């Protein structure tokens, strides 16, 4: 079997109907959604499958919805014999990676990301913070522009070469977008988000999340999970807790994480869960990497044939 890294998506990959086709066909997927519904005390499965979209896109709902869908797919693959060599997740997706590696229990992760979403929504009043994607400038140029702008605007995610997302106060982000275009950026795109995630404005949320993380069991992962904060594997429970708390207000070092995973000698990446956002980013980071996606019966069957899984 190929030596593959499992990668798990974060906010922005959600859509109404995600996971439904696999839910209809596979008991293990149905069991996973039922476990999440019971844990949360409401029908997250119905929200995933039927919407409405504006409810699904609320951060406090999106985060558990994506985690549950991703882990449902992962459990299905695991039952068929898939074992990743290592893993990572983009922002919220890091929790999915830690569940897959056995570092967090599924129920604890569901409760944690629900709280994480609530804390992130509450950290900055609506309208006072936002995010924007800057395309076509290198990271050093974007970092320099952030330092020149009055107010809080900071790199939030280093996604791929020439794609840096910034976050901060709404006015400062707008000024940064204008400055980036003047400096030669191909595009400066505001993002539809409810806050300035992965910026210092979220530090209060990170502090509250740290307190919660101290109350739940964390184990050493069964395989390497690369942290968004360090772009390196986290192995000890205390290290995992610190990384998850810091991640809320620290930049996501996705490009570095992918390069480090590739350097570890893998054959490719499988994006487990909704969408192909991460596959698109990885293609721009490591063009020779083999890429797979599993989110539907069709993509599951393609993956089975490519890697030799037995249904």
Render pLDDT for 276-308 as a digit per residue (tens, 0 to 9): 999 999 999 999 999 999 999 999 999 999 998
Is 260 a residue of the active site? no
* Same domain, yes or no: 115 and 141: no
* Measured CA angle at 78 (ends 76, 80), to 5 deg: 75
* Same domain, yes or no: 34 and 20: yes
Query: How high is the pLDDT of residue 293?
Result: 97
Catalytic residue among 26, 90, 198, 260: 198
- Which phi and psi angles does 154 have, rounded to 5°? -140, 155
CA 306 vs. chain centroid, Å, equals 25
Catalytic residue among 13, 45, 70, 91: 91
Residues of the chain with pLDDT > 70, as a percent, come to 100
Q: What domain range includes position 59?
A: 4-123+200-307
Q: Domain boundary residue among 190, 221, 238?
A: 190
Q: What is the pLDDT of residues 211-225, one digit of tens each?
A: 999 999 999 999 999
* Same domain, yes or no: 65 and 159: no
Mean pLDDT within 139-151: 97
* Same domain, yes or no: 141 and 272: no
Mean pLDDT within 202-206: 97
Q: What is the pLDDT of residues 238-273, one digit of tens each?
A: 999 999 999 999 999 999 999 999 999 999 999 999
* Same domain, yes or no: 254 and 160: no
Asked, for residue 230, whether it belongs to a domain, the answer is yes
CATH of the domain at 152: 3.30.70.250
* Same domain, yes or no: 133 and 170: yes
277-285 helix and 254-263 helix, angle to the nearest 10 degrees: 70
Is 198 a residue of the active site? yes
* Same domain, yes or no: 119 and 133: no
């Amino acid at each position: 079997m190929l030596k593959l890294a499992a990668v798990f998506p974060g906010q922005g990959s959600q859509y109404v109907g995600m996971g439904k086709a696999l839910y209809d066909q596979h008991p293990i997927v149905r069991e996973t959604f039922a476990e999440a519904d019971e844990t949360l005390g409401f029908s997250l499965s119905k929200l995933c499958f039927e919407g409405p979209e504006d409810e699904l896109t609320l951060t406090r709902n999106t985060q558990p919805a994506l985690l549950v869908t991703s882990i449902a797919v992962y459990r299905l693959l695991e039952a068929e014999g898939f074992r990743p060599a290592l893993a990572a997740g983009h922002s919220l997706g890091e929790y999915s990676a830690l569940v897959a590696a056995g570092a967090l229990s599924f129920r604890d992760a569901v409760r944690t990301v629900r709280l994480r979403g609530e804390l992130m929504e509450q950290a900055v009043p609506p309208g006072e913070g936002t995010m924007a994607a800057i395309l076509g400038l290198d990271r050093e140029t974007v970092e320099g522009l952030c330092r020149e702008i009055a107010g809080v605007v900071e790199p939030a995610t280093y996604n791929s070469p020439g794609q840096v997302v910034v976050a901060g106060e709404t006015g400062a982000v707008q000024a940064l977008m204008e400055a980036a275009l003047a400096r030669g950026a191909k595009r400066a795109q505001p993002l539809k988000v409810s806050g300035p995630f992965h910026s210092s404005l979220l530090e209060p949320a990170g502090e509250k999340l740290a307190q919660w993380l101290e109350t739940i069991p964390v184990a050493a992962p069964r395989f390497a999970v690369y942290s968004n904060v360090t772009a390196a594997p986290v192995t000890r429970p205390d290290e995992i807790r610190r990384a998850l708390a810091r991640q809320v207000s620290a930049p996501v070092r996705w490009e570095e994480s992918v390069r480090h995973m590739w350097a570890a000698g893998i054959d490719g990446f499988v994006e487990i869960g909704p969408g192909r956002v991460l596959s698109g980013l990885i293609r721009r980071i490591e063009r020779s990497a083999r890429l797979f996606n599993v989110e539907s019966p069709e993509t599951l069957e393609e993956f089975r044939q490519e890697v030799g899984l037995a249904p």
